[in-house]
Structures are given as C-alpha cells and as structure tokens.
Structure 1
Amino acid sequence: MNKALFIPGLICLSTYGYSADKLPTIQVKGEQSERNAPLHLTTRIQWIKFPQIQYHTAELKTQDRSAIIRVSANSSGQVTDAEVQESTGITALDQKLIDAVEAAKVKPYSKNGKAVPIVGYQTFTLTIENAQDNTQGQGQLSECHFTFNSKHWIKQTQDKSVAFHYMQQPQLSLDAVLLKNKDRTVKFKFKVDQQGKVKRVKLTQLSGVNAIDQQVIQAVEQTQVQVKRSYRTLWTFKPSSFNDEIQFKLKDCN
C-alpha cells in the first residue's frame, strides 16, 4: 500500500514498501567504487595542480569577470565532476573554467588516516589585467622565477632570532609572468603538530592571482618546521600557530 508523506514547504514524497536490497542507488560519475565512502565537504579546496585558464581581453567583454565552480574529486584527487555554481555571465568563459578544473588535480583530504572523496567550491576571478594578451612588461620577466624568500626565511638565513625554523627552504619556483607587471604579497598563517609537520595553511592576505596563492600554499604545506621550545613546554604540547609573508617584487627580476 502506498503512503503519502507531506512535509511543510517541501514537495510531496511517496514511500513504498521496498526491501533494503531493492532500494534504488545513485552513482556519481567516476566514483562507483566509492559510493559508500564518507564524503568531505569544504569551502576551500587545496590543489596539487591548480586549474590553469587562458583567456584574452576581448573574451571578458570590457569588464572583469568572476565565477564559482562546484568541484567533486575522488580519493585520489582526480576531478570527477565540475559544474558552474555562479556564472561569469559568458557561457564560453564558464566552459573554459570547467575544462581547466577537470584537467587539474585536488589534494586528497585525509580522515582517520584514509583519503576520502570531496566536494568543494573554487572561486575564479578573470581580470583584464591578467588576460593572456595583456603582455605589457612581460618580456623582461619571461626568464625570471621566484623562490621561497619569505620574511621569516630571510631572518632565519641571517641567523636572527625566530620563533621557528624551516627545516629546509620550501620548494617554490614561481613564474614572474604571473605577477602581470605588479608587485604581489601573500601573507599566511599555519599550525604545526608535535612532529613539526604543517597541518593547516590559511591565507590572511591574497596576492590577487589564484595561481600565486595556491603555489604558496602548496609550498608551505609540503615543508616541515622546528619549533623553539622553552623548558616550560618540554613535557606538554600545545598546537603552535605561526605567521609569515612572502613578497614578489618586479625589481627583483630586473
């Protein structure tokens, strides 16, 4: 016998007396083997390979554009689905973003030591300044790459007093063309566990270019630090939080 279930504000649902083994299932593309796995929802995706999109000034139709893409990735970090959550207003640009996201790779999220699929959102800002054909000042920068010379790293190499030490210089090789003829600064903070492993990186000042921000995050996440401990903290552990910043200046490439 069919029963009708009415919920205020929602559509009418019909329930049937199916046995559990006959209930229909919904399978997500590329995740058939993981449909029973826990799913991590996030508002900030971390990338191993950030989506790369190239566009020309004319495609923006005289104004900067932005969009939000909903991203699904499996436990290996492979993007299994991408769809427009908020559009740029131009279908062709939206499709370029979808293609770029599908070709990228997400950093898997670990829960209880096991990688799980994720669903999250990535914001993109497409500006006239960063258009591919806006080449002003790029010639002299084409052979220049920035390394990880953060404010803290410079102090550390000068043997100045610091609250922590990077065990080695974080790996970063940032193409100066990404600066688009403008100085950029990234400020960030991160937490460190008892073994000195960086656990969480959060940007407190964005550079204005997604690719720059993501490369800095990845460099910090893959490093390890040594925390200066006092005699009061030798036998107890409290998660430590630190701040640093890195500046990318055009004059350093002249």
Structure 2
Amino acid sequence: MLSETPRTRHRRIKENGRTDPADLVAVLAAGLVAHLGIVIDGHPMVVPTVYGYDEDHIFLHGSVASRSLLLEKEVCVTVTVMDGLVLARSVFEHGVNYRSAMIYGAPRRVTEPAEILHGLRLLSEHSAPGQWDYVRQPSKKELAATRLLALPLTEASVKISDGFPSDGDGPDAALGLWAGRLPMVTTWGTPEADPLLAAGIEPPAHIAGRSGSNAHPAAPAVRIAGQETGTA
C-alpha cells in the first residue's frame, strides 16, 4: 500500500484514488514528462522535465546552473497521462480520463559516480529504450555540468479516471444528446534524420521499431518493497 499522509490522502472523488504501488509504477511507466513544483525565493515554479525511475526513486536531471535543482528542499513532482475526453450531456459534467501521480518529498543530490550513471541511464532508457548503449556515454566534463536529483517514492498520491459520463441516469438523459468518451491515443511517428547525417546511416532498430507504436506503453513488472508488481 502507498503511504497515506495529509498530502496524499484522497479527499475528493475518492473512487479514483489508488493505493497499490503497482498503480504508481504504471503511471510512471506510461508518462514521459514530469512537472517539478518548487518554491524559489518565495515564488512558485513548475518546470517540465523528463525523468527516470526505479523501485525506490524518481530521478530528475538538468544543468548545475538550474535554479530548480539547486536546493534540496520540499518539492512536488507530478506525472500525468491524458487518455481522452469525457463528453456529457451538459457542460458541467464534462471531464477527462487520465492517470496521474503526485510525489512529495525532499530530493537528494546524487553524487556517487555509479549512482549518477545509474540514474542517467534510467532517464535515457525511459524515454528511448536502447539508446544508452547505442550512443556515446557521458564524458567527465558533461557529467560535471549535470546535476541529478533522486526523490524517494515513499510519499505519493495516485489517481486514475477511466469512466463514462455520470449523467446517463439523470434528467439530462431525456435531452436526446450524444454522450460518451473520446479516447486519445498518441503514437510515435517516422524517424527523421538529422540534415547533417552522412548518407547511408539508417536509424537503429530500437528507434525505427517504435514508429506507429503507442507512446504510452503499459507498465512492465517492477519490484517495489520486496513485492512483484505490474500493470494495474
């Protein structure tokens, strides 16, 4: 079970709340962009960024000069996947189907060389599986210019909405209007070569093979807290 704290307790639309760690893994696996929320100099800042994760942490990275990564203070990291529109008979009842996770805590700066490479590999492999081993590894200079943060997955709130409109058995049903849901599926396109790429260099199989596939894949099985989990 995910830990319940004042920040993660489900207060509204509790039926959409999830407490199984597998659901957290599923959202992290399906998402591609996280939003890092932090207060800097008394002002809120929300930064979109790619991420990686393992059974214990979500990893975020950026330039050593990035203000959002300078302070090891309380943050909120949100990952959201939109799955479609919920189209009701009235404007009031419209909504979206989504999968979301909010992770709270104070991230720590990763300084141990092996863990830095571990975290950066997870970041690369999450967005482009197979790319880490295909391209050149980071140089010492590049590593020195990169800051990596690790935020524990111990305090998280997960919500998933996948329903139909809720006004099908109410007065608006008599309006005779269409209602339902409009799923949204995002797929990868055809790889486009760098204009400066030498002739004859084709995209590797791990890139070319993603063309036409769902950009939000199902979560693989991951071990969390000693338990085997998978797609919810």
Query: What range is the shorter-chain TM-score in?
Result: under 0.3
Report the structure number with the largest CA radius of gyration: 1
What TM-score does the superposition give when structure 2 sets the normalisation length? 0.20
Pick 1 or 2: higher relative contact order, CA cutoff 8 A, min separation 6.
2
TM-score for both structures, normalised by structure 1: 0.19
